[in-house]
A and B are shown apart, each in its own frame.
Chain A
Amino acid sequence: MSRQSLSIALSGSGGSGVMTTGSMLLEAAGKAGWYGIMTRSAGPQIRGGEAAALIRVSDQPLESHDDSFDLVLAIDPASLGRFMGEIPLREDSVIICDMAGGRRDASLPETLAREIDLPMKKMAKAVKGGRPNMIALGVLARVIGLPEGSIGGILEKVLRAKGADALEASQACVKEGYAAGAELPAFSGPPITDVPDGERWSITGNEAAGLGAVRGGVRFVAAYPITPATEVLEWLAGSLPKLGGVLVQAEDELASINQIIGASFGGKPSLTATSGPGLALMTESIGLAVCSEVPVVVLDVMRCGPSTGIATKNEQSDLNIALNGLHGDAPHLVLAPTSLSDCIFTTQWAVHLAEAMQTAAIVLSDQSLGQTRAIVDKPADIAFIAKRNVPEVVGETYRRYAIGDSPVSPMTIPGQPGGQYTADGLEHTEAGAPSSLYDDHLAQLDKRSNKITNFNFGEHWADIDGTGDTMVITWGSACGPVREALSRLRAQGTEVRMLAIRLLAPERPEDMRAALEGVKRVLLVEQSHSKQFYRYLRAAYDLPAEVKLFHRPGPLAFKPGEIIEQLSDWCGSEKL
């Protein structure tokens, strides 16, 4: 079934309210039964500068922006310039812009698109307390075919706190804009459908990761603010206390990771969230969690690196540090969500796995997954929860790091009589006493390694889809555009397989061998300048003879059309 979708960009100078407008439009689209995504683009300014809300709506679930945009609304012409690299336009695209005086503004970038002047500032002035962004909301709703009523409830919800006057002014502006929209070219949006309440959600990837964490049983979080992970923490700070949990704002990332190790030692499933610079600070203590066998989950919402890099933009370049950044031989888990909705499942599963294996799990989300808001189908509630092997009764000879039938040894919790031990980052004996002997070191290294490599991860290690002898292997936020590209190809009769790896460590050689059965050629897609994913796959797995790599650094997102182009050598144009 081919997709019906519309892509809309809304730009304005700082403070013009484009993000609020975009969020309200997205929610109205959700109420109309549409799926949608919205991403934010902005400069580094804390307040001010330019901002753009990039929105796409469809009759089918969305995970990616389209190759180009249909409609751009610029509240002021100059604001559009800095975003043109992210907003490709076609000849039949339309720019609605306030030319303020009717003459074409020189600051409006030259494009192929048709330009239409709409005096939004003047229209807003005619309304007492009116604002151009609310005019824009009405205009956009009309042009893309949303019913006028779909905005009303959202206006009330969002603006109630600002008082009756502000609400009335906005309502009047939306009405004016909606009427003015009737005179503009109309786009055929997806059909309006009636979706039962609660069947669709509006959620960001960062909120989804937070939800996954608490669903998995996390009740203690310590963290230090960092872009683009802060929203995970903001959501958890509000939600954990409702569940009897707590979020502590720590003094730095060294404190964050050690606080969660302490809380988890005390029996509470624990998590911290950060981005690349914070992960780098935490690595020593993640090794402590591995060595002392205390379960913790570290969520890294990746951004462009190295160093401070581009804090607000996406990249998949923390793979190396997540896999290999710990000193010594420190087997641990590395996972990555394969979609925005999957941030729930993967984070929840990571909590379950870390607790089950008493080790550290690093979850690699990214800015694109984390800060995108999407209208999605209600996510399934999966049963994976934290379940630690805690002995009910402790015998005379309890040994915390015992090497028994299972490499996961029973872990007592402070307060439990007879279970006292010292958790240690020093190599230790089975009883937990420090040891510098080869035999103890080898035995404990084996224990910590076996418990992870022998674990039955089941089918969740990857999302595998499609048929044919060509496969795309990718991960994280790159999965979205790949999935859309392959569904476009499928609609045209070309089948390409897809493998989205969720469990990056430990390696799953047998699972990979099975997944690659019958595959002759592989395209790898990743957002990293130094080919981190490619190098990882090369080292970990046997790939088919023909391997092609499509990689580039952030922040430029992959587009479905680019993936199709990459595949065109293999799936010739006569097949496309």
Chain B
Amino acid sequence: MNDTSACSRLGPKEYKSGVKPVWCPGCGDFTVLGSLTKALSGLNIAPENAAVISGIGCSSRMPTYLSTYGFHGVHGRALALATGLKVARPDLTVIATGGDGDGFSIGGNHFLHTCRRNPDMTYIVMDNQVYGMTKGQASPTTEPNWEKGKLTPSGTGINPFQPLVIALASGANFIARCSSSDQNGTAKVIMEAIRHPGFSLVQVLSPCVTFRPEQREWKKLVQPAPVEATSDPAQAARRLLTDEGLYTGVLFKGHRPPYQPTLESTIDQVTELDEEFQL
């Protein structure tokens, strides 16, 4: 059990490590850090029973700032590492965090296959449509005519990746979109995502105030989805393909059983395996 007794419930601040974030002032990721600590506190998950796994990028620094177990791995592989941990240790609450480049570009294959595999974990993607740590290149979710990318001064000219549509098609069991401008709302969605069995994707629109200052306007543009979450993939697909990417809330809740091989042994001794080789 992850829950500790109610009297020992820790406040959100106690889920922070005290290490000072490298993020720029005004970065949306500060708010997401707050949402995540509120969610962990709200679910009363003991810090030692949670593991937050990430790759590389601004938002991938998240584990260092938490008092849970954490793993800050290599670029793009957070979901693979998190899957190994969850399969080996189903008792833990496993959360992967990262950005749009880490998750959808270099880590794209793991994104597809983690949705497919559906392990019981939550993936929080802080999407700012830019590579911030390397100082401002277009990411997979950048619009095609954004001309400030230093490697694509005429714009990428290619369509942005649609993570939620891809997640749905690949089999993710829970799909939500949040805005970092709403810390409490995001915390609630993260709590629901953690509680929902299987692979939960939470896309958080998290502005990069340094390289995409226009994203400060997001807080005015986002609005709660006008309808309740559906469990019908066809309906979810229609909505996700037509919602302009600015509706927030839980958008899809599926019923697929999570991937979790049983870890119960059927023999007592390794030496019992010798028999098959004996003449």
Contact = CB atoms under 8 A, between A and B. Distances in A.
A198 B272 CA distance: 12
Contact of B84 (A211, A220, A243): A220
Interface string A196-212: 01101111000100010
A258 B270 contact: no
Given A244-B263, A433-B64, A258 B73 contact: yes
Q: Is chain A's interface secondary structure helix, strand, loop, or mixed overall?
A: mixed
B82 A262 contact: yes
Contacts of B277: 201-203, 207, 211
Interface string B17-31: 101000000000000
Given A197-B279, A241-B262, A422 B72 contact: yes
Interface in B96-140: 109-110, 112-113
Contacts of B58: none
Nearest to B47: A420
B229 interface: no
Interface in A372-416: 375, 378, 381, 414-416
B89 interface: yes
Given A203-B277, A288-B74, A262 B83 contact: yes
Instruction: Tell me which of A31, A245, A267, A423 has the highest count of chain B C-beta atoms within 10 A of its own C-beta.
Output: A423
Contacts of A267: 88-89
Nearest to A259: B84
B87 A220 contact: yes
Interface string A39-68: 000000000000000000000000000000
B242 interface: no
B48 A419 contact: yes
B271 A381 contact: yes
A222 B87 CA distance: 10
Contacts of A250: 80, 113
A266 B265 contact: no
A249 to B, nearest CB: 10
B253 interface: no
Interface in B50-83: 51, 53, 61, 63-64, 66-74, 76-77, 80-83
Interface string B245-279: 00000000000000001111111001111100111
B145 interface: no
A424 B89 contact: no
Interface residues of B, number: 53
A222 B109 CA distance: 16
B49 interface: yes
A262 B270 contact: no
B261 A420 contact: no
B273 A266 contact: no
Contacts of A415: 48-49, 89, 91-92
Interface residues of A, number: 66
B236 interface: no
A511 interface: no
Contacts of A375: 279
B32 interface: no
Contacts of B109: 251-252, 254-255
A73 B263 CA distance: 48
Nearest to B262: A241
B85 A426 contact: no
Nearest to A375: B279
Nearest to A288: B74
Given A246-B263, A251-B110, A262-B83, A31 B48 contact: no
A30 interface: yes
Given A255-B110, A255-B113, A265-B85, A422 B278 contact: no
B46 interface: yes
Given A242-B267, A288-B74, 5 more contacts: A198-B274, A254-B109, A292-B73, A419-B69, A420-B70
